[in-house]
């Protein structure tokens, strides 16, 4: 009897008999673990607990506390959902049913029947019934021919056949539970009965294999839990998240709006939102000035020629807004989709020497892009938006240093605004489809390695995504999640060898020869619109004190103290604090309530006592009464709060 050496995550190694399953090993460790075990990870691959281990391996027993344990749980629930759907709709054909970050989905072709939201309840109930049957998940190998036969004669299903065609004979497995059989490579929980709570959350169309040329299947989203109470907690959490939605808060706090008459995806910034936005712009301008950026301003439209040169016309001309024609000459102008062509022309406005570089041209440039109607969403996806854009023109030997300086700037912005959870994504070309990009192989190689090196040298943890590059160059993107977990790209840094070539940019080298600069495109916010959206959700509308449109609301206890309230207002305004007075003849409780709901950080309550002693009674939003203090003390309090935060970030920067 040959033995098996199994190493565990804690580093220990134990011997078992060949063919021992994950379940048996879990049982040998402890009964508790065996009970909690959902699946296991053998040499890093998620397997069913029944998987017989045949060679020396690393093994991790997965429970609900492991991400992969949850994934196995959710993926298994997708199977149960499919079983339920098959019972209710025998003609349904199944596509794929993976687990996702929060739950699972299954793509299903329902043939002629249209599945609506109201049908979900019945499917959900059936899924729960199927789970309660406590069937065992049984994974077993089949030959390619058997598999194809199954999905031809038993269940005619072209989707599964397509998947099988792309698999190697000998590596194909089916999974049974109850009366349901599915093509599956595994990673299941042992029995369906572990699923105690299922919620089908959503229904949506999804193209087969994500290709819009393919048929659109019906995608059913759901989530499941091993305890009912966990589902309730999850639903409460979702409810809370929805309260942070920037579209809801933007309306409530009067930051921005949309008008049908102006058009979809074209935000209108209200005064308070504009205050906020301008303050962010000022913050960025100050940071950029310190880093040697030069301000420029360019128009909102540009001649078609400009975009032919840049390559935008060829790539996106057909799918952008239609050109604007001059009435007499018939010249074609386009709304600018990007600022870089204009900035290239600024570079060309005079002869540049190697001594001038790097040149950093910065502009809050408003651009217009046609986005598909179904894609528009609040401030996160719009058709007109303002980028905190800049283009750095530098020598080849300066690329890495410049790139790293931009990483510093992005991280400074994130730190100042407490964005601690972001991912840095290196976006490279598609590995196969190179026709989507302009420029030579050599230039791309240089640009891609510059990004990878700079990020590595900065010690920035990154993930690499192929096929996500811009058409003219690779990017380093900073992604942040919104309230309901959707990922958005905020900051972006791009290295570009191609536009300088297309625009024939050059500088005079030390040897009096002519050389090409390298361009770095960068926008730490990305777009002001999206950044503000994510910021709103991040802080649930309670903006940092330095940023918030209204820092203090002065609340006179009655009309009698209106004059004193004005005096207080004038005093704090002299110290550049932003404050206004609630002059309504409402009771103080009402005024406090409204200020709290408007998320004004400080409330200054003034009445007889305060007027007599030249004081204010200070209340902090969300915290309550802070007591009475002199107006000067209040101003100091606010100033030190603001300085404290900013100074802390500055210090960490050094």
Q: 450 to 469, contacts with RNA by CB under 7 A?
A: none
CB-nearer residue toward RNA: 4 or 85 = 85
* CB hemisphere CA count around 642 (13 angstroms): 16
Write the DSSP assignment of 176-190 as a string of letters: EETTEEEE------S
| Residue 603, C-beta contacts closer than 8 angstroms, at least 6 positions apart | 552, 553, 554, 555, 591, 592, 595, 596, 618, 619, 620, 621
Instruction: Identify the CA nearest to 595 among candidates 583, 608, 582.
Output: 582
Helix (H) or strand (E) holding 220: strand 216-225
Q: Per CB under 7 A, which region of 71-79, 173-181, 262-270, 571-579 contacts RNA?
A: 262-270
Figure out which of the listed residues 161, 244, 247, 300 binds RNA, where binding follows CB under 7 A: 247
Per CB under 7 A, contacts with RNA among 199-238 are 202-207, 210-212, 216, 218-219
Q: Which is nearer to RNA, 5 or 593 (CB)?
A: 593
Q: Closer to RNA at the Cβ: 374 or 510? A: 374
Of 486, 514, 573, 643, the residue at the interface with RNA (CB under 7 A) is: 486
Which of 147, 407, 470, 490 is the binder for RNA (CB under 7 A)? Answer: 470
In the bound complex, what is the minimum distance in angstroms from residue 339's beta carbon to RNA?
9
CB neighbours of 126 closer than 8 A, spacing ≥ 6?
84, 85, 87, 88
> Between 245 and 402, whose beta carbon lies closer to RNA?
245
Q: Identify residues 323-382 at the interface with RNA (CB under 7 A).
A: 337-338, 369-378, 381
Kindly state the smallest distance separating residue 27's Cβ from RNA, in Å. Answer: 39
Distance (Å) of CA 130 to CA 28, 81, 117, 154, 203: 31, 8, 20, 21, 20
CA atoms within 13 A on the CB side of 257: 11
Closer to RNA by CB, 22 or 95: give it. Answer: 95
Map the footprint of RNA across residues 569-588, applying CB under 7 A.
584-588
What the block records as the tokens of 80 is 């149960």
Active site residues: 340, 369, 387, 389, 391, 475, 521
Q: How far is the CB of 207 from RNA (least distance, A)?
A: 4
Rounded CA gap, 290 and 279, in Å? 17
For residues 53 and 4, is the Cβ–Cβ distance under 8 A? yes
Give min distance, CB of 189 to RNA, in A. 25
| Total Cβ atoms within 10 A of residue 58 | 14
Measure the CA–CA gap between 576 and 585, rounded to whole angstroms: 27
Q: With beta carbons less than 8 A apart as the criterion, state whether 21 and 39 touch.
A: no
CA distances from 343 to 13, 291, 317, 388, 523 (A): 62, 18, 20, 13, 14
Q: Which CB atom, from 76 or from 218, has the smaller least distance to RNA?
A: 218
Stretch that binds RNA, among 81-89, 342-350, 592-600, 634-642 (CB under 7 A): 592-600
For the bound state, the minimum distance from the C-beta of residue 515 to RNA, rounded and expressed in Å, comes to 26
Q: Which stretch binds RNA (CB under 7 A): 157-165, 172-180, 354-362, 556-564?
A: 556-564
What residues between 426 and 445 interact with RNA by CB under 7 A? 436
Say how many residues make up the chain: 654
Of the residues 558, 614, 640, 648, which one makes contact with RNA according to CB under 7 A: 558
Shorter beta-carbon distance to RNA: residue 163 or 508: 163
CA-angle at 80, arms to 75 and 81, nearest 5°: 90
**Binds RNA (CB under 7 A): choice among 264, 456, 463, 509:** 264
Sign of CA dihedral 232, 233, 234, 239: positive
- Give the other-Cβ count within 10 Å of 543's Cβ: 23
Q: Which of 16, 64, 174, 316 is close enough to bind RNA by CB under 7 A?
A: 316
| CB of 20 vs RNA, minimal distance in Å | 39
Structure tokens at 130: 């199927």
- Contact predicate 39/72, CB 8 Å: yes
d(CA 298, CA 367): 11
For residues 196 and 304, which CB has a smaller minimum distance to RNA in the complex?
304
Q: Which one of the spans 57-65, 313-321, 407-415, 537-545 is the region binding RNA (CB under 7 A)?
A: 313-321
Interaction of residue 593 with RNA, rule CB under 7 A: yes
Which residues does 229 contact at the CB level (< 8 Å), separation at least 6? none
CA 187 – CA 141 distance, rounded (Å): 14
Going from the C-alpha of 381 to that of each of 31, 372, 481, the distances in angstroms are 51, 10, 14
- Please identify, among the stretches 87-95, 263-271, 398-406, 456-464, the one whose residues bind RNA according to the rule CB under 7 A: 263-271
Smaller CB separation from RNA, 460 or 588: 588
Considering only 592, 600, 635, 638, the residue that binds RNA (CB under 7 A) is: 592
Q: Nearest CA to 348 among 389, 285, 386, 296?
A: 296
Select 98 or 644, whichever has its Cβ closest to RNA: 98
Residue 89 or 354 with smaller CB distance to RNA: 89
x/- contact string, 599-628, with RNA (CB under 7 A)?
Answer: ----x-x-xxxx------x-x-xx-xx--x
Site for RNA in 100-139 (CB under 7 A): 114, 116-117
Interface mask toward RNA for 627-646; x: CB under 7 A = -x------------------
Total residues in contact with RNA, by rule CB under 7 A: 72
Asked if 596 is part of the footprint of RNA (rule: CB under 7 A), the reply reads yes
Phi and psi at residue 550, to the nearest 5°: -120, 115
Minimum separation from the CB atom of position 21 to RNA (A): 35
Q: Which of 156, 232, 441, 559 binds RNA (CB under 7 A)?
A: 559
The reply on whether position 73 binds RNA by CB under 7 A is no
Stretch that binds RNA, among 60-68, 82-90, 162-170, 552-560 (CB under 7 A): 552-560
**All residues at 6 or more sequence positions from 476 whose CB lies less than 8 Å from its CB, including other chains:** 403, 407, 424, 425, 426, 427, 451, 454, 455, 462, 492, 493, 494
Query: In the complex, what is the shortest distance from the CB of residue 385 to RNA, in angstroms, rounded to a whole number?
Result: 11
Smallest distance from RNA to CB 391, Å: 12
The answer to whether 515 and 359 are in contact (CB under 8 A) is: no
Q: How far is the CB of 107 from RNA (least distance, A)?
A: 9
Q: How far is the CB of 262 from RNA (least distance, A)?
A: 10
Cα separation of 561 and 613, whole Å?
13
């Amino acid at each position: 009897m040959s033995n098996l050496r199994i190493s565990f995550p804690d580093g220990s190694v134990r011997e078992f008999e060949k063919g021992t399953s994950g379940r048996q090993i879990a049982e040998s460790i402890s009964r508790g673990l065996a009970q909690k075990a959902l699946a296991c990870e053998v040499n890093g691959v998620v397997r069913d607990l029944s998987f017989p281990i045949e060679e020396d391996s690393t093994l991790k027993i997965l429970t609900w506390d492991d991400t992969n344990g949850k994934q196995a749980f959710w993926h298994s629930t997708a199977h149960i959902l499919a079983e339920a759907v098959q019972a209710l709709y025998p003609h349904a054909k199944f596509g794929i049913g993976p687990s996702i970050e929060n739950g699972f989905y299954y793509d299903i072709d329902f043939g002629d029947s249209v599945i609506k939201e109201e049908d979900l309840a019945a499917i959900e109930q059936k899924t729960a019934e199927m789970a309660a049957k406590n069937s065992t998940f049984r994974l077993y190998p089949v030959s390619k021919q058997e598999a194809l036969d199954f999905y031809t004669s038993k269940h005619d299903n072209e989707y599964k056949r397509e998947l099988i065609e792309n698999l190697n004979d000998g590596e194909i497995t089916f999974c049974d539970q109850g009366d349901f059989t599915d093509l599956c490579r595994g990673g299941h929980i042992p029995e369906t009965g572990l699923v105690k709570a299922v919620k089908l959350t959503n229904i949506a169309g999804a193209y087969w294999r994500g290709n819009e040329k393919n048929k659109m299947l019906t995608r059913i989203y759901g989530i499941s839990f091993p305890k009912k109470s966990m589902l309730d907690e999850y639903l409460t959490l979702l409810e809370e998240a929805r309260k942070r939605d920037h579209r809801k808060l933007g309306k409530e706090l009067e930051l921005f709006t949309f008008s049908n008459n102006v058009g979809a995806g074209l935000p209108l910034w209200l005064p308070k939102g504009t205050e906020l936005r301008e303050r962010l712009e000022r913050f960025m301008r100050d940071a950029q000035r310190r880093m040697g950026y030069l301000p420029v301003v360019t128009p909102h439209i540009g001649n078609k020629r400009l975009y032919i040169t840049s390559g935008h016309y060829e790539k996106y001309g057909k799918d952008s807004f239609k050109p604007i024609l001059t009435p007499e000459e018939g010249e074609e102008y386009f709304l600018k989709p990007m600022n870089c062509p204009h900035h290239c022309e600024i570079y060309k406005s005079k002869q540049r020497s190697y001594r001038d570089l790097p040149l950093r041209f910065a502009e809050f440039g408003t651009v217009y892009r046609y986005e598909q109607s179904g894609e528009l969403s609040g401030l996160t996806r719009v058709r007109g938006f303002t980028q905190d854009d800049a283009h750095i023109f530098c020598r080849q030997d300066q690329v890495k240093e410049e790139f790293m300086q931009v990483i510093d700037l992005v991280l400074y912005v994130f730190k100042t605004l407490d964005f601690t959870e972001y991912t840095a994504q290196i976006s490279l070309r598609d590995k196969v489809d190179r026709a989507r990009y302009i420029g030579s192989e050599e230039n791309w190689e240089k640009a891609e390695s510059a990004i990878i090196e700079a990020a590595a040298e900065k010690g920035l943890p990154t993930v690499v995504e192929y096929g996500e590059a811009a058409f003219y160059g690779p990017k380093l993107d900073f992604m942040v999640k919104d309230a309901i977990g959707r990922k958005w790209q905020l900051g972006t840094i791009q290295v570009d060898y191609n536009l300088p070539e297309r625009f024939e940019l050059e500088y005079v080298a030390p040897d009096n020869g002519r050389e090409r600069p390298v361009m770095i495109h960068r926008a730490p916010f990305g777009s002001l619109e999206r950044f503000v959206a994510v910021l709103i959700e991040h802080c649930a509308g309670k903006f940092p004190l330095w940023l918030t449109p209204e820092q203090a609301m002065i609340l006179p206890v009655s009309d009698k103290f209106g004059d004193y309230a004005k005096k207080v207002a004038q005093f704090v305004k002299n110290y550049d604090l932003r404050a206004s007075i609630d002059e309504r003849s409402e009771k103080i409780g009402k005024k406090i309530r409204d200020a709290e709901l408007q998320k004004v950080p400080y409330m200054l309550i003034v009445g007889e006592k305060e007027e007599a002693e030249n004081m204010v009674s200070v209340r902090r939003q969300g915290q309550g009464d802070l007591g009475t203090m002199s107006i000067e003390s209040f101003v100091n309090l606010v100033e030190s709060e603001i300085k404290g935060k900013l100074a802390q970030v500055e210090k960490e920067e050094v």
